[in-house]
Each structure stands twice: as C-alpha cells, then as structure tokens.
Structure 1
Amino acid sequence: MIIDDQHYDLIIVGTGAGGGTLLHKLAPTGKKILVLERGNFLPKENDNWNAGEVFGKGRYHTREQWYDISGEPFRPQTNYWVGGNTKVYGAALLRMREKDFEKVQHQDGISPEWSLKYQDFEPYYTEAEKLYFVHGKQGDDPTEPHRSEDYPYPPISHEPRMQQICDAISNQGLHPGYLPLGLRLNESDVNESLCVRCKTCDGFPCKIDGKADAEVSGVVPALEFPNVTLKTDAKVVCLHTSPSGREVQAVEAEIGGQSYLFFGDIVVLACGAVNSAALLLRSANEKHPTGLANSSDQVGRNFMKHLLSAVVQLTATPNPAVFQKTICVHDFYWGDSDFEYPMGHIQNTGNILQDMIPAEAPPLLSLLSRLIPGFGLQQLATRTIGWWLQTEDLPDPNNRVRVQGSKLHLDYTPNNFEAHDRLIYHWTEVLKAIDKTTKSAVFPLSIYPYSNTPIRVVAHQSGTCRFGEDPTTSVLDLNCRTHDVDNLYIVDSSFFPSSSGVSPALTIMANALRVGEHLISRLN
C-alpha cells in the first residue's frame, strides 16, 4: 500500500451535485482539499449526442453489476464521472415546497417531518440557483414556495408548438408553469450563450458545456485554486478509523491497480445515496461491526427513488419543437377534489428521438411502428411529445442497500402506487382534452402509451443515511455529520428523510452549500 505523504484539511469523496457544490464553496478558504473521484472527465465527443449510444448502449453508465431484491444482477443507470450523475441529468432544478418539510399523510403512509424546515434551506436554494444558472418565472405555480429573491435568470421560452400545448392546458383551468432549468443560456444574446437549445439535452452529456452541471459549475472553477487537488480514477474502498473509532484517520482508494492511503482532518462523502451507504457498510471494523457510523442500524435503509413514468402524447402532425422540455404542472401535486393525497409532479421530457424508442420509450411505440404500414420509428418520433410524471415514494426501512461480500444489493419494493396511477390517469385525461380541442389525435381512439422505470433506473436516489436529532433513529446530525464519527460528513441525497415529489438535485446542492458554511466555521 502506498501512503500519501500529504496531510489534508479536508477530503471530499465524489464530485456530483453534493461533492462538486461543496468543493466550490470551500475552495476559496485556502484550506488544503483533496478530492477523490472514481471516474474521469467525461470525454467531449460526437457520441455525447448520439441517442443510440447514450440510450441504446448506455455508453456513459457504469458497467458494474448490482443485485435486486431477488438476487438477480442488473446494470444500474448511474454515472462515474467528474460531475457525477449531473453530467447526464435533465437540469430540472426545483425547490421542495414548504409542506414537503412537514409530516404529510399519503394514502400508503406517512412522509416524515424534517428536523429543518424550508426557511432553513431557502437562502441556500437562492445561492444554488445562482451557481447553477437556474432559469425560471416566479408567480405562475400554485404550489410555489416563498422566495427571498426572484430567479437569477429569465425562464426558458416555449417554442411555438409547446406554447400551443401550454395554452391548451391553461384552457382546462390548470396552471402550467415554466420548468426551472439550469442552463448556460442567454436567449437575448446568442454570442453570450453556451447552450444552443439542442434536441439532445435531457439524459445526454453536453459536449459544449451548455448544461450547468457539477463539473462545469462546481469542480472546474474550484481547480483554479492552488489548495485544491483532484485525483480521478480513484475508487474509495474503505474508511479507516482511529483505535477509538471516533474519527476517520485515513481514506483508502484504488488508483491504477494500487492501493493508496490518504490522511485528512475531515472526510466528506458525496458518492450518491447508494454508494455512500455501501462505503460505510464496507468500512466495518471492531468498533463499528455492522458498518461505520451504523449504531442506529439505519445505514442503507429507507432507500427512495420516486415512482417515475414516461407518458407519450402522439400527434397527428409532426412536432417541430427542437427544445421542448420547458413546461411543468403542479396542479395535482397535493391531490385534487377526488383524491385528498399528494399525487406528484409533471414536466416535459426532452425530445423523443428515433434511436431512443427501442431502449427508453414505451414498448407500445415499437409495436405501433410494426403494425401501421409505412409508420416507422422516425415517423413516430417526429409526432411525439414526452411527459415525465413522478410521485413520492415513502421511506421503508426494508428498502435498503446491503453489501454481501463484494456484491452490492439494492432491496427495493415500490410503494404509493395508487397516487401514481391516479396521476397518470389525470394527465392522460388532460392530454385527451388537448388533442380533442386541437384535433391533433393521431388515431381515431386516442392512445397514450406509458412506461414505468425499472430498478436499474436509480435516478433521484435518496434516503439511505437520513439526518435527524435522535442518534438512535438517524445516521447524521443536522449538519450532516455522522452521530458516531466526529469528523465524517455526507452531503449527497443520503440525508433525505423523505423524497418529496420534485427532483432532488437542487436540494442536494442547497444542502451542500449549507453544510459548507458549517465546515468553514469548523475548519477555522
């Protein structure tokens, strides 16, 4: 084993939404910071925008295998690059609602209360929106939380076809809003804009850095500071504690086939909810026999990842929109007159391209292309509008990350189905009404195929090391420091007690900035 001869004030493991944001916050302090990233910089290449490569072959996903609740192997759709999963995220950056931080009754159970509230995160939401170039419009969303400042950038405009759809939704008494997006876009001056509003944004890497991801907004600016050291292709495999078990003394990583030990005063994990929990479990020792920081037996438990469905609206005429992911709808977020429980969030997907249909779009689309003469995948793709529906899944201690030998197990059984099914039903009825009034249905009987995401889709993962004030029921304190180990923190989505109905990315970023302020105080 090679022992690094440097001693660091801070070691950060992972460079995604949590780690990359935290690094950006702490880099100007002058403290000696080491960042360990198991991947490398994602290459900028033509295949970044090749739907067949990105979706059909999963070019940028890890090749490793995890195991489901039945012990069956699967290849997770997770990404080990500088910037983590934000390299391929859709850049939808939404705030949780005030009520999301409270105890909420769902049909299938309780979404638990957070020990901190919306007002504790609000200033950091504002800071994160500036850092990640969030475009949006205040005042058009009935569930919108209080804001101390307006969005830092104006909303991304709707293209004509999407504006038509937006107007048709409004005519039904609903309140479509501009989807908050983190893009380096300046629509008033194309010469100042890196984003070009292309059709390969949602789920694709951006080869021109037009997407505000954690590499572009967090890591790269931080590397300009001489006190920051980044080591890529560095897979952290174990955390070693002092004899008392109360501090992490060293971080063990595999680099180029060799084992290295790195020493630091404070260690922060930002590996993602699955991998941070797995690393703690793999770091079991005499003082922590069931896993590091796991005296509560909560490490790895309460895994959540939203109920996610893609609904496809088929239209009679081609959809000319190039960048169509600009609409979100929250009218059903807290339920409606015939269902008193929360249902969830609706937004556009990015464009559905021909080479995406076999891998990602509902199977019915592929079937239709074979049943209807002359109506191939290309014709289908040009006549689609995609919608992304997501519903909160509830924390369940039996939904968990486990490590058995060298295998990572993800035991997950979805819940809260009826709320999600009702969301799909209500949205399908909205689409039927739109197609009826605009005479845009592609068939005499409207068909709206949809697909649910399988276990391998681990987007929106959260909850495996929840924070709280009681060390018997939580892994982290309110500063996201482990209760059991004094110098160990976690700043990815592991800390979530509940998942809410909106994407977790902006809350991860805001929390990393919040924890960053605490760490600056501690380091000083």
Structure 2
Amino acid sequence: MIYDICVIGSGAGAGPIIYELSKAGLKVCVLEKGDIYDEKDFSKDELVVRRSIYTPNLKDEYHTIEEFIDDSWHKFPTYETGWSFWNGTLLGGSSNFMSGYFHRLKPNDFKLASTYGVPKDSNIVDWPINYDELEPYYTKVEELVGVSGVVEEYEFLEPRSTKDFIYPPLKENKIVDLIDKACKELNYTSIKTSRAIITKQKDGRNPCYYSNYCGSYACSSGAKGSSRASLIKDALTTNNLQIIANANVIKLNTDKNKKIKSATYLTKSGTKKDVFAKLFVIAAQAVETSRLLLNSKDENFVNGVANNSGNVGKNFLSTSGGIISATFDESHLALEDLHASGLFVNRSIMDWYYTNEFKGGCIDILFEHQNPIRRASSLRWKDNGDLKIGEELQNSIFETFTKTRTLNMEIFLDWTPNDNSFISVDEKYKDKYGIPVANIRIGTHKRDLEIANFIEKKAIKVFEKMGGKNIVSDISPLPSANLQAGGCRFGDNPNTSVLNKYCQAHEVSNLFVSDGSFMPTGGSVPYTFTIYANSFRIADYIKNNYNKIIA
C-alpha cells in the first residue's frame, strides 16, 4: 500500500499533522518508535519513570556528547553518565511528560537579528515568518490541545486575537500570595502561567484532578495536552489513520527524482520493513530528526537526505539558564496550606524578557517535583560530604517531607546558535541495531551565561523578599535535554537553511519537518507551544497544496 502521508514520530510536532490531514480525508500512516499506552496505563510510580519504561535503555541506544573541557573537545557516550536525551518513546512522545508551560513567543522573537544585531561568534538570524503568521495557530492550540489560564496585562504581552483562554486557570497553592506580594514590593510583575492542562471536561478528556504528580509524569486523566490525548485519539475516529508502533525508522529512501519513496524501519524483533507514501513528515524530536536525515545516505544525497548544502544538524538549540531554590515552612504559611496536595504555583516573571541592550529571559516558578525517591536520596549526604545514616537521616527525611517545601525558579533563555552547537553522526559509535548514534556537540555562547547571571540576581531578590530559607542557585550554560530544537532551521536561502518557510525541505519536495528542528532561535520559553502551532500551520499548507506537492 502507498499512503498519502507517512509521519515519523507522534509528539507535539506530529499531532497536528496527523489530526488535520486524516480529518481532510488523506490516508495517514504513523511510524512510532515506542509502544501505545493509554490513560489507564499511566501510574504515578516514580520507579516506572526512573527505569526507562518509556525510553530506550542507554546501554542499547545512546547518544554521544561532546563538551569543551581543558581547551579541547571530549566525546563520551551517555550510558557512562546517564544523561539521557530520550524524552518519551511512546505514542504522543515527550508531550506525555511535559509540565505544559505554554507561553507564546513575542513578535521580536521572530526578528532577533534585526532587533538586537548578531553577537560575535553567533548564528542568530531572523525567522522567515512573523508573529502575525503564527498567531492564529497559537489560538488553535489553545482550543484543540487545551490551554488553561487567564490573560493578564504586562509590558511584553504579545498581541492576541482572543481576549482570554477558553479554560479557566488551575487551582493554586496559597504560596502564590507570598510571591505576588514580594513581586509587588520589588516593583516586579508576577503573571499567572498558562498551562496545557484542561480544567473542565473536553470530549473524552477529564479535567485535572490535582494528583500532585504532574511534571515528568504521564497524565492518567487526559487533562494534560499531550499529542496522544488531545489530537491523535480524535484522528483515529476518521478511519484514515494507521499507527505502526515499535517502528524504529532507520533510513529514508529516495527515487530518481530525489523524492522520498519509502521509510525503512526495524520492528521490535529487528526485522526490516518499508512503508511507502507520497509525502513524508519527520517529527522525531530535533536530535533524532537530524540523525535520521544524516544516516539516510544514497547516490542522491551522499551526506544524508536534504543535506547536499551541509546544513542538517547545524545550529542545534536547547535552553540554558538554571534553577534557584528556596525552602519554606510554617513560619511562612500554615503547613496544611503549604502541603496542600496537587495545587499549582503557576507564576511567571517576564519583566526582563527584553531589555534595551539585549534579549533576556523568563522565570517560571514551581514547587520541586514530587519524586520522593530522588528527594530522599539527596538527603543522605552531610554538608562535609560524609554519609548521613540512622536516626540523623531519618529525621532529615521526616523534616523535609513534612515540615518544609522547596520552591524553584527556572530561568529560560534564548539559546544562542553557534558553530559549535550541532548534531552529527560518527560511524565509530553505533546502537544495538548497528546504526550510528547522534553526536551532540554542546558549544555554548558566553552571552547566555551572562544573561542567566543577570536574571539570577533578580530571582534571588524575590526569594529574599519572601523570606525564603536555604537559597541555592545553580546557574549553567548547559542544555536541558528535554528541550530540543534546531538542526534543520527554516529560511528563504537554501544555502543557509534546510527547510523553506513552510518547513518543506529545499532539496526534497515531498519531505517536511514539523518538530522543533525548524527553529532558527527558540525564544526564552519552552518550545512545545510553538511546535504545536507551527505544525498546525504546516498542516494547512499541505492540505491546501497536497496535489501540487506530490506532482
């Protein structure tokens, strides 16, 4: 069978494509590397999360990391450190596990180069589209995926075509009163954080039931706006969608016209199979998308599919910044309020998203994730490095879990693309299937750390004003493995980009990339909202031009 569309991956970049094109009557095949799970399969068991049930075992499938240490680049496999860049290998991908902080990009995020200039040793460019072109699709995500919150005025609020969110904000812990009061006294603006978590019934999805286990955990109510729960379930009702699970795509195959004719995948048992389609969409998350293209070498593309220009893998993005933490106890808030189960913090500060001199960042405020095993394990060491045991350890655990609570401020910055931040493949390093793994070179730009340090000082003032105790700061330029973008940036010039403005490969007319790979810059917020919105935009383009594209 030859499908109309073959989609590789099923996360945030894939869901809108799957949803829109199957509803348009096209026959869609999804190749998902992982298995299919549903709400009934998702428990709030930390051991399930920690034992790589939803991600590959790093001994079998790993990545290599290159870091600049002692004046030279050093490469090491991730199975040596446990630093995993796998974020969810199952239907719906990593969108199942996101915390769902959904901030839109701002108009100037689309034109950083022309607004602030291009810093030395950076590859910052303007986007080939503007905010107005993406705005209707942000609105569509708010409706279909489901975003809760309330629109509040602040200096950098982006233009909106709707006055507010459809879903009211989530219930909040009383600690937000302390945050709001401290910000007001500092002349900062605290705003309510919009979240991809619904607060009222939507079709077959139940609203949030405040389980207390949200970030890093799959949602057992369907409230979290995963691609699986919000879009793919509905798409299945069209009878135009086939999902092939446990399909590890290892190569794209081209024909004499330099179009993709098929995708080769490995079954769970290692058997090779091919899927044929008229049009292909890759949405495998940024690292694996670049890896697939680079490994898909043939006579048409000796350096990998869509890579005759040498741009695939370049300008990989993540987000740097860090976390500032403080503890709070009954001297700040009654313990029953402080430990109220499942209530959210949902506060953000964007006062320094832009400054007159440079592009800044965003602060999202949240309680430390539950994860009791990890939290208890971290208490076994004394300040001098000695092991804490017996009654001392027992008391420490009891006090931590019953008398205090840790509040975090996460800093999100606009990762500066540069020549030493890229994805490549190396024939020396292969997974258990014999396929070269992705190598991630982590080249950071000094500008990012400078901005992180600037915002860190602002964040610490909030905790100080709140009377927070044990204030600890961990500022780092290193990437967050769960936030991946770039590698196949879009642009108008085929010599400097992989995709055109519709995320169609310059060199392969029936190939699109719809995950975060398209982004030239990432904004100072998590990427998922924008990935969803852009995928809806791509879906519209494909629907309106399908016959022309496949001709």
Answer yes or no: is 1:205 the counterpart of 2:237: no
Shift of 1:243: 2.0
Query: Is the Cα contact below 8 Å between 1:325 and 1:347 reproduced in 2?
Result: no
Q: Distance in 2 between matches of 1:357 and 1:369?
A: 15
SS of equivalent to 1:447: strand
**Aligned match of 2:539:** 516
Aligned with residue 380 of structure 1, among 372, 382, 400: 400
Moved more, 350-359 or 203-212: 350-359
> Deviation string for 1:213-240 (max 9, x for gaps)?
1100111111111111111101111110
Per the alignment, residue 356 of structure 1 pairs with: 374
Alignment of 1:272-291 (within 5 A): 272-291=285-304
1:448 to 472, 481, 486: 472
Instruction: List alignment gaps of at least 5 residues for structure 2.
Output: 67-73, 79-83, 428-435
Question: Alpha-carbon deviation of 1:205?
Answer: 1.1
1:67-105 deviations in Å (ceiling 9; x for gaps): 011221113242111011101100111110111111243
Alpha-carbon offset, residue 362 of structure 1? 13
Q: Does 1:487 align with 2:510?
A: yes
- Deviation string, structure 1 residues 32-84 (Cα, Å, up to 9, x no partner): 11111111124657873123542x54543332211011221113242111011
Give SS of 1:17's match: coil
Letter in 2 for 1:475: V
Match of 2:233 among 214, 220, 223: 220
Question: What is the number of equivalent residue pairs in this alignment?
Answer: 503
Residue 497 of structure 2 aligns to a residue in which SS? coil
Q: Residues 269, 352 of structure 1: CA spacing in aligned structure 2 closer, same or farther, 3 A cutoff?
A: closer
Q: Does 1:329 align with 2:349?
A: yes
1:36/1:296 CA distance change after superposition, 3 Å:
same
Question: Take 1:335 and 1:370, find their aligned partners in 2: how far apart are those partners?
Answer: 46
Q: How far, CA to CA, are the matches of 2:487 and 2:384 in structure 1?
A: 37
In 2, are the aligned partners of 1:361 and 1:451 still within 8 Å (CA)?
Answer: no
CA shift in 2, pair 1:333/1:492, >3 Å:
same
Counterpart of 2:364 (choices 339, 347, 371) is: 347
Q: Does 1:62 align with 2:56?
A: yes
In structure 1, distance between residues paired with 2:147 and 2:170: 10
Distance 1:259 1:192, change over 3 A: closer
Check conservation: 2:152, 2:192, Cα contact below 8 A: no
In structure 2, how many angstroms separate the alpha carbons of the residues matched to 1:512 and 1:483? 18
- SS of 2:29's equivalent? strand
Which residue matches 1:86?
A: 95
148-157 or 416-425, larger mean C-alpha shift: 148-157
The answer (yes or no) to whether the contact 1:62–1:78 under 8 Å persists in 2 is no
- Alignment partner, residue 438 of structure 1: none
Shift of 1:203: 1.4
Q: 1:366 to 1:295 in 2, by over 3 A?
A: farther
Q: State the distance in 1 between where 2:411 and 2:315 align.
A: 22
Distance in 1 (alpha carbons) for counterparts of 2:387 and 2:543: 57
Q: Distance between the aligned counterparts of 2:54 and 2:324, measured in 1?
A: 24
Change (3 A) 1:362 1:25: farther
Query: Residue 240 of structure 1 is aligned with which of 245, 253, 269?
Result: 253
Show structure 1 runs of 5+ residues with no match. 1-5, 436-440
The residue aligned with 1:433 is 465
Whether the 8 Å CA contact 2:449–2:476 is kept in 1: the answer is no
Matched to 1:79, the amino acid is G
CA separation in 2, counterparts of 1:29 and 1:89?
Answer: 29
What letter matches 1:224 in structure 2? T
Which residue does 2:184 correspond to in 1?
170
Match status 1:131 vs 2:154: no
Cα deviation for residue 452 of structure 1 reads 4.4
Q: Tell me by how many angstroms 1:447 deviates.
A: 2.6
Equivalents in 2 of 1:431, 1:277: separation in Å?
41
Identify the residue that residue 317 of structure 2 maps to in structure 1.
304
Q: Which amino acid letter does the alignment assign opposite residue 330 of structure 1?
A: M
The DSSP-based 3-state class of the residue aligned with 1:79 is: coil
AA aligned to 2:98 is: Y
CA contact (8 A) 1:138 1:151 kept: yes
Within 2, Cα distance between the matches of 1:171 and 1:186? Answer: 34
Q: Kindly tell me: are residues 397 and 126 of structure 1, through their superposed partners in 2, closer, same or farther at Cα, counting changes over 3 Å?
A: same
Q: 1:33 aligns with which of 28, 34, 47?
A: 28
Structure 2 residue identity aligned to 1:404: D
Whether 1:269 and 2:282 are equivalent positions in the alignment is: yes
- The question of whether the paired residues in 2 share the 8 Å contact of 1:324 and 1:351 is answered with no
| Cα distance in 1 between the residues matched to 2:535 and 2:193 | 23
**8 Å contact 1:133–1:182 — kept in the other structure?**
yes
- Deviation (angstroms), 1:320: 2.1
C-alpha distance in 1, partners of 2:380/2:194?
26
2:316 match: secondary structure: coil
**1:478 alignment partner in structure 2:** 501
Rounded to whole Å, the distance in 1 between the matches of 2:88 and 2:264 is 21
> Distance between the aligned counterparts of 2:159 and 2:424, measured in 1?
39
**TM-score, length-normalised on structure 2?**
0.85
Give the equivalent residue in structure 1 for 2:339.
Answer: 320
SS at match of 1:135: coil
Is 1:407 matched with 2:437?
A: yes
Q: Deviations over 1:188-233 (max 9, x none)?
A: x9x9943112210011111222211110011111111111111110
Following the alignment from structure 1 to structure 2, what is the Cα–Cα distance between the partners of residues 199 and 497?
36
Determine the C-alpha separation between the residues in 1 that align with 2:259 and 2:379. 48
Task: State how far apart, in whole Å, the 1-side matches of 2:223 and 2:130 are.
Answer: 33
Q: Which of these residues, 153, 165, 179, is aligned with residue 140 of structure 1?
A: 153
Which deviates the most, 386-395 or 39-48?
A: 39-48
Identity %: 23
